[in-house]
Structure 1
Amino acid sequence: MTTTSERISEPLTRQMSKRVSQSVFDGSRLRVMLLVDVYDGAQPEFLAAYEKLCSQVASVPGHVSDQLCQSIENPSQWLITSEWESAPPFLDWVNSEEHVQMVRPLHSCVRSTRSLRFHIVRETGIVTSPDDVTRRLQTAPRIGDGKIRHALTFTVKRGSEETVAKLLANYAAPKAQVDENTRLCRTSLFMHGNRVVRAIEVEGDLLAALRHVSRQPEVRAVEEAINPYLEEERDFNDPEATRIFFALAAVPAVHHVTSDQECPEAERLALYYPARPGRGMQLARLLAEQDELAADDPNSPVCGSTIFQRDEVVVRLIDVRGGLEADPVLALGLPGSPQAAELATLVDGATIGADGSALKGEDLVRFLTLARMDLVTDRVSAPQA
């Protein structure tokens, strides 16, 4: 549990590189909004479920406050807002299995939900102390490229990896255009041992894109084909089971940065950094900070980097000039031995077969080999005419 004194000692919001279009690590406060459409007549049950959830959330480290609002136009529409000290504690909580189980009673009362998450950039009102504004507001708006980045991960039974890879590589791509506002831009699928990671880039509405993909007959056929090989069973004919599967499989993007380099021939690669228990967010932060520095280095082979993190799963998706082996230190995002030493304290080397020497500067090539994920498929949609 984070104490008041520990929260006060947290660093002020920090200035990030202008090349960072997405990050949860700037220290600014977070506003979360959950739009809810409640079944007719289920408002009392919904309110009771919210009251129980609210009392549980109040004890979560990093939680500041929340509000429950009901529409003045449609009593079936509700809005739950919450404020958090910063994004990392919220993500630690919302991505936990504890949260998935905590919100289950709500789903029997609601027709649909939509979650929106925002860093607070500016605000007006009474300031209770001079420090409130300087340390909790995002210092400047970010300029993005209009894409939402997201990943899903799951594991398959040992010994089935080759079969699963063939199934996942040989499906017909779904139509890129979801609706007039949403479009699938790129899907990259990797494996590391028995772990599968699917990273997607979307313009528009992420949930609409995920629903669109999951409903395509060719995709459903492949998903059904790999079901017998999954370590955790799933049933896409059960809406509640499907919702829980996607909730637990989600690996959000926590940082994205691009360099000023023109990289038309860059190769898309992925590296898997399994974290030690409870160190996933810290590991993701280390990699994000190093990639920020690399974006300003004209000698870096990395043209762009996205860090995905959930619990102990950390994946670094990178676009690289000349391949990883051209400069393994820079490709790994480790400009020096201090960063490599810190990485060694955060990575669970045994998970990828690495001993201590593979995390030291003199053996980074070996660590690179162990962390590198196998590319199954990488599909880029043609730009819309």
Structure 2
Amino acid sequence: MKNFPHQFNDLTKLFNALAVARQLINNETPLTDENFGEQLTRGGIYTYRDRTLSIDEFLAAEAQKPAANRGYLTVSRDIRRFFELMGFISVFPDKTARLSPAASQLLRTDSEDIRKELWKNSLLQLGLEGTDGEVSHPYRILLKIVNTFPGIETPKLMLALEAENDSEEEFERISNLAQRDMGQIIEDTGTSTAMAANAVKILPGIAEQLGDIERINSRAYPVGQLVITEDEITTEEQPARRPRTDFRETNSAGIARDPILNVVSSVSIDLADAIRIRQRRLAEHQEIVRQLALLNEEKGFQLFEGKFDCLAIKDDTAILYEVKTILESSTDEEKQTVKGVGQLKYYKYSIVHRQMGYTNIKEVLVFSHKPNDGIIEFCSAENIRVVWKDGGTFQIFNVQNGADELFNPDNLI
């Protein structure tokens, strides 16, 4: 488990602490634990329990304790390290320090929205090195965990600090751990209960303030999710915990309301990973098209390709295929179905009918696996046949007998 500062996660306090650091730097005051801690205390950023004491009385009392027992020194040390990890300050051996351009921009910005963007950009770049020298980006990993496991128990977000690096293999290990109970996770990672608790004190709270996650009843949900298909990478509102009806009564003032636009930098955190997912889906899509083409060719159909995925022609019948890879998600199925149906209707009219001159055109939507019954019913009502990949074969829903059967394109003629 990588060590991460765990004093406080309130962005207002952190902003004010950064302003204190700037003041010390501008005054050419070394950013020592003592100097920084005293000013954090005087600024009300670090608070102590005995409020009957004045700040001077408190500091005088603390001075009588061993340095290791002075809480304000521990806080100053942790906050300074946090700012160093964020790339906000550079501290030199003599404890003189320099403020980065990113920190200066944050401090002179009045807009809360822009501040959030600046916080987020720095968090996404924050790299954490382990004892083995490998670097991970814990904020990126945290958001990836929440997007992969919506509703995950908040304590399990400690795994953002468990990752050794940002590789797919390492995230697979983290994903496997995330599906175990907390006792198993602590045992398997060799982490103490106290370390596990500290590991979730900061980043989840900051992610919530930045609007990247929501925490409800000790569970974390993504505010936005990546939707990655074979032909695009988009982001949309996470519907998993926001059930809504498919229609509602409205009026001219309430219809087509402006969307609440969340900052999208969190979506770019795993852009490389998203591209890899897109590539995998594209590879799967292309393989299905090839197998479908081979099946039709073996049945004596003439094949065409173009904007559509596959067109198979025999005699005066044209079978137009659109292939969609789908995930185990109703949202993904719906999105892909709507897109596929639109493509079939458009290509059927604009290419196969107008340009190629065919009138007897059969439309087939092919999925990477069997979609839910509602999708099949909808497509059937639109005179679109539904076919899906099943191992090494293709299956089709027979609208006459309501059964699944082996797909034979000749049966559509």
Structure 2 length-normalised TM: 0.25
Structure with the larger strand share:
1
Higher relative contact order (CA 8 A, sep 6+): 1
Structure with the larger helix share:
2
Structure 1 length-normalised TM: 0.26
